[in-house]
Amino acid sequence: MHRKFARICKAGLGMLIILQLPSGCKSNTPDIKADFNYSYTDDNHIEIVNASEGDYYSASWNFGNGETDVTTDKKKTYNIYYPDAGSYKVSLKILDYVGNTDTTSQSVSITKSDLVVAFTAEVQEDRPNYVLLTNTTTGSYDSLTWHYRDMEVDGKMSFEAYFPKKGTYTIELEVMKDGKSYSAENTVTIAADDPEYIEGMTLVWSDEFDGTSVNTADWTFETGATGWGNNELQNYTNGANAVVSGGYLAIIAKKVDDNKTVGSYTSSRIVTRGRKEFKYGRLEIRAQLPSGTGIWPAIWMLGSNFSTAGWPACGEMDIMEYVGYVPDVVYSTVHTPAGYGGSGDGSSKSLPSCEEEFHIYGLIWNEEELIFYTDTPSNVTHRYAPAVKTADNWPFDKEAFFILNVAVGGNWGGAAGIDNSIFPQQMVIDYVRVYQETIN
């Protein structure tokens, strides 16, 4: 209900007339008053109590430190944290039932900083590609995380961060307290590339195919005769075309009939999706390739967010592709939203013995570039390193999984037809190995 307000006016010869305002009218002087009290619970925490008067509906708070609140609970109190020394303006606005408001504010003074995020970053004289990071944060906090080179390291108070390439880098230390983030940054300059960068990596996973079957703890079979987006003709089976023996994996493409239609061939496609996924490192696969017109083996990777982002947004790294109608030439290609399919970014290399001998097909992958190579990192097939990286041209900052397969026919593999006399054909894999940088 609205209160009735009386107003006294002067009229005529000093006669006073009392006017009674009707119930629905709005007063020019609302009968509400915004007010609050505060007290220190320690040097950096303030208890704030609403002391507003009158019949009002809601209270809107701004505590001056980025925190705000709107409430209809007139008895609500607050314990507000101010980690940094300084003066903070606390404001309160109350609103009554007919739209009147009243506002008040007070300054809160914090004399000392409770949490000061800081660290030192020292380039090591005897190891100039390593930087000793030491947390010197003062005050209490719940957790800490280091950020550098698109990497995250949790919980370490001191460690050596590795910077293999010359340049200037920003390092951030983030600490969490009561669900909020506080951080500090430093920069370091690395004078030269580390000549031992590649050889200094540590083996973190491999499959040497020493058993008698595909290790399903690491690999799964993708099956079906769906064309796989390329109008391929093989039907991928659940293991019948993948043989592990004598330390090798053979993925065997077989002919079912001479029709050259979907299902006229069988083969295998194995993936590490959901089991073994990696971000950055040196990745090597030693393999011997099949031969003949119509065959299309591949060693490649897809981003692990494939099911949510889709292709090509997830990114595709083709470490090695081979089409039998162009013998002795291997291809390495990158597919992104900026260029995919026939517009992918790639190169080829002559490799005359790829069908007769084993070769290493490798990829060096870090936050700056992708380097595809055969046999040794110095024998580069293709380098991909956009100067300005965006989501469209660099989706390679997330984990990815391996795919090994032998396709038959398809848009590229079958561009010159299929020679049915070549079957069976097999791609033989000696090993798959992943090396990564060591975090001390």
Which residues are designated catalytic?
316, 321
- Name the E strands within 163-213: 167-177, 180-190, 202-207
User: Does residue 94 contact residue 32 with C-beta atoms inside 8 Å?
Assistant: yes
Gap between the Cα atoms of 330 and 300, Å rounded: 13
User: Does residue 115 contact residue 181 with C-beta atoms inside 8 Å?
Assistant: no
Name the burial class of residue 381, with classes exposed (0-12), middle (13-18) and buried (19+) by CB atoms within 10 angstroms of its CB: buried
User: Does residue 55 contact residue 41 with C-beta atoms inside 8 Å?
Assistant: no
Helix (H) or strand (E) holding 306: helix 306-309
Q: For residue 4, give the DSSP letter.
A: P
Residues 6+ apart with CB under 8 A from 36: 48, 49, 50, 51, 52, 90, 92, 104, 106
Closest C-alpha among 287, 271, 207, 277 to residue 236:
271
Helix (H) or strand (E) holding 8: strand 6-11
User: Does residue 375 contact residue 360 with C-beta atoms inside 8 Å?
Assistant: yes
Looking at the DSSP assignment, which residues form a beta bridge with residue 110? 86
Distance, first Cα to last Cα, the chain: 70
Residues 6+ apart with CB under 8 A from 42: none
Amino acid at 413: G
Question: CA distances (Å), 340 to each of 315, 343, 346, 393, 414, in order?
Answer: 9, 5, 10, 10, 19
